[in-house]
Amino acid sequence: MIKFVTAAASVAWLLSPLAVSAQTPPAYGPPINLESAKKAIAAAESEAKKNGWPMAIAVVDTAGQLLAFERMDNTQVASLDIAIAKAKTANNLKRPTKALQDVIAKGGDSLRLLAVKDVLPIEGGVPIMVDGRVVGAIGVSGMASNQDAECAAAGAAAAAK
């Protein structure tokens, strides 16, 4: 029990820069279903194809577990794990991964975030919101992180409809 309390206090301390710089994160809602996850992937893929970008696209549920995944032809192998990690990070911290990237870019105490296990603070992960609640997240990887984020935003918007 002492280890758990110590670990929880450590995580709270590590994430303290996020708490100061952001509003209270939204609550979780019911987890995204497969049909909505497929819509998210289709919209992200459509945006990627329109721009000629080979992408890996992952959707996770509110537990951060992979629900749907697609790898477009010619996507670099490393992007598979990166897309999943971006989706998990966006879901588990209830914010776009760009917010984490921006906090770390400021340096100083914010660099503590890099020590948090299983957090990938690189743009391209976006929570999927329905009725103001997080129902899952989408992560995209394959190009520059801002291009990944463009596809992820398209996917998140389609899933929220």
Q: What is the CATH number of the domain that holds 11?
A: 3.30.450.150
Domain count for the chain? 1
Reduced to 3 states, what is the DSSP secondary structure of residue 25?
coil
> Where do runs of H (alpha helix) occur along the chain?
2-14, 16-21, 34-51, 78-93, 97-105, 145-160
In the predicted structure, residue 9 carries a pLDDT above the cut 50: no
In terms of average pLDDT, the best of 6-10, 12-16, 40-44, 111-115 is 40-44
In the predicted structure, residue 1 carries a pLDDT above the cut 60: no
Domain with 146 in it: 2-160
**What pLDDT was estimated at residue 98?**
98
